[in-house]
Structure 1
Amino acid sequence: MIPAAEHAYAHTKHLILSGEAPGGTLLSEAQLGAEIGVSRTPVHEAFLRLAAEGLLTLEPRRGAVVVPMSPREAQNVLDLREAIEATAARRVLDGGGDDTLLAALEEALAEQRTALAAGDVERFVEADQWFHAAVVDGSGNDLAGHFYGLLRDRQQRIRHQLFRVQPGTLADSLADHEAMLGALRSGGDYAGLLRTHIARNQGAL
């Protein structure tokens, strides 16, 4: 059984990253605890963790407020993401590709196709993260994987925002991924395709 504090943490973090609780939303320990069936104490612990991660600010006698992601912060995340992934992809291409990586990317694309057909944005976003992280991990650069992982939550928040603002970009994102997989197979311009792909996120800023 998941500890109450961990449950409260995961639930609240999901609300923030998915955009269900957008920036500026006031969260109440009592209300959230009642919603998920736990006392205020584990919710308070969860709020403290999320405040340490920069996702909440705690205000005495009011509760917790979701910290908005500024356009500058989002742009910084996208810039770092592009730099890390483009470098990783270059190493993959220099190594002649990897059948295990290509199979994993195919699996991620199949998951995205299923999610798109079902209109399941949450599932699509998870597969999106899976696809890009697989490329970084496939480079064998452990430091790149570490720093890319540090961006994960912020990337997920941007993705959810994009797909909420422009739901039509789900199909465009899938097409981008298919082209990027093709580039890894053929030695094509992965970095150029990635730049175009990430530029779509500008619509969420």
Structure 2
Amino acid sequence: MLHATKVPAAERVYREVKEQILTNAIAGGELISEGEVAAQCEVSRTPVREAFLRLEAEGWMRLYPKRGALVVPIGEREAADVVDARLLFEEHAVRAVAARESRRTGLVEQLRANLTAHRAADPADIAEFSRLDAEFHQLIVTAGDNPLLADFFRSLGERHRRMTTASVHRDHTVAGRILDDHRDLLAAIDTGDADRFATALADHLAGVHDLRGGARP
């Protein structure tokens, strides 16, 4: 008989703290201590220290001895770079499917289902709202039928989620804008208008993530 393997304490702390960072429950610029997290997760400080070291290695934290861990804020350069990558990958995918009606039809059906679920989601449930947002864009890139680009785009998913949750926290109107923009992006794909999609996507990302001067060309 197989028994479920218990998740090591350090792994559990790592996952919980990282999820709080990605959903903005712990905001960028906030200083947290090993003791606080140990109490929250009901573990000793040793697994917390291990989790913090891992999060620092991944760039989510900076550790300060005897002071705690600073959650690294999302910098303007990082946000602009992520948006640049998304513009390139998503536009490339839409141009690839624009002339292929069967593939475009399949993508439109998937995006409509995603948008229906997204509209039904509670914006206050940041984790679920941001997951559906990331899924919408991942579906587009995956439809481009380039596994290398799709995998690389997926690696941006955590940064994408964090940026979205930060934007929703910053401005309560952002959630509604995301849904409206996704409807427009879906309409552009449905008509096979890649140029319209590219323009709408640039406006969407610049507006949602409050990029000064818009997305870089």
TM-score, reference length from structure 2:
0.86
SS in 1 for 2:73: coil
Query: Does the CA contact (< 8 Å) of 1:163 and 1:170 recur in 2?
Result: yes
User: In structure 2, do the counterparts of structure 1 residues 4 and 101 end up closer, same or farther at CA, with 3 Å as the change threshold?
Assistant: farther
Alignment-derived partner of residue 206 in structure 2: 199
8 A Cα contact 2:62 2:72, kept in partner: yes
Summarize the alignment of residues 171-182 of structure 1 with structure 2, pairs less than 5 Å apart: 171-182=176-187
Alpha-carbon distance between aligned partners in 2 of 1:162 and 1:21, rounded to the nearest angstrom: 14
1:146-161, aligned counterparts within 5 Å? 146-161=151-166
Q: Does 1:49 align with 2:54?
A: yes
Q: Does the 8 Å contact 2:33/2:68 carry over to 1?
A: yes
Following superposition, the deviation at residue 102 of structure 1 comes to: 2.5
| Structure 2 equivalent of residue 100 of structure 1 | 106
Measure how far apart 1:162 and its partner are: 1.0
Report the secondary structure of 1:21's partner residue.
coil
TM norm structure 1: 0.91
SS at match of 1:140: coil
Shift of 1:40: 1.8
Q: Which has the higher helix share?
A: 1
Residue 114 (structure 1) aligns with: 120
SS in 1 for 2:62: strand
Is the CA contact (8 Å cut-off) linking 1:115 and 1:121 kept in structure 2?
no
Cα distance in 1 between the residues matched to 2:130 and 2:54? 24
The AA in structure 1 aligned to 2:94 is A
2:59 is matched by which residue type in structure 1?
G
Q: Which string of whole-angstrom CA distances, capped at 9 and with x for unpartnered residues, describes residues 90-116 of structure 1?
A: 112132334433232122111211114
Q: In structure 1, what is the equivalent of residue 30 of structure 2?
A: 25
**How far apart, CA to CA, are the structure 2 residues paired with 1:13 and 1:138?**
29
Question: 2:39 maps to which residue?
Answer: 34
Matched residue type, 1:64 = A
User: Which among 129, 133, 138 is matched to residue 134 of structure 2?
Assistant: 129
| Counterpart contact for 2:163–2:209, Cα < 8 Å | no
Question: 1-side partners of 2:80 and 2:125: how far apart?
Answer: 26
Counterparts of 1:57-76 in structure 2, within 5 Å, are 57-76=62-81
Structure 1 unaligned segments of length 5 or more: list them: none
Alignment RMSD, CA only? 1.8
CA contact (8 A) 1:165 1:204 kept: no
Looking at structure 2, the residues matched to 81 and 24 of structure 1 have their Cα atoms a distance apart, in angstroms, of 25
| Letter in structure 2 aligned against 1:14 | E
Deviations 1:134-160 (A, max 9, x none): 111111111211221222121111111
- Matches of 2:209 and 2:112 in 1, distance apart? 26
Identity of aligned residues (%): 36
- Residue 133 of structure 1, CA deviation: 0.5
Matched-pair contact (CA < 8 Å) for 2:168–2:175: yes
Query: SS in structure 2 opposite 1:2?
Result: coil
Q: Is the 8 A contact 2:177 2:208 kept in 1?
A: no
* Aligned-pair CA distance for 1:203: 2.1
Which residue identity does 2:41 align to in structure 1? I
Q: How far, CA to CA, are the matches of 1:119 and 1:112 in structure 2?
A: 12
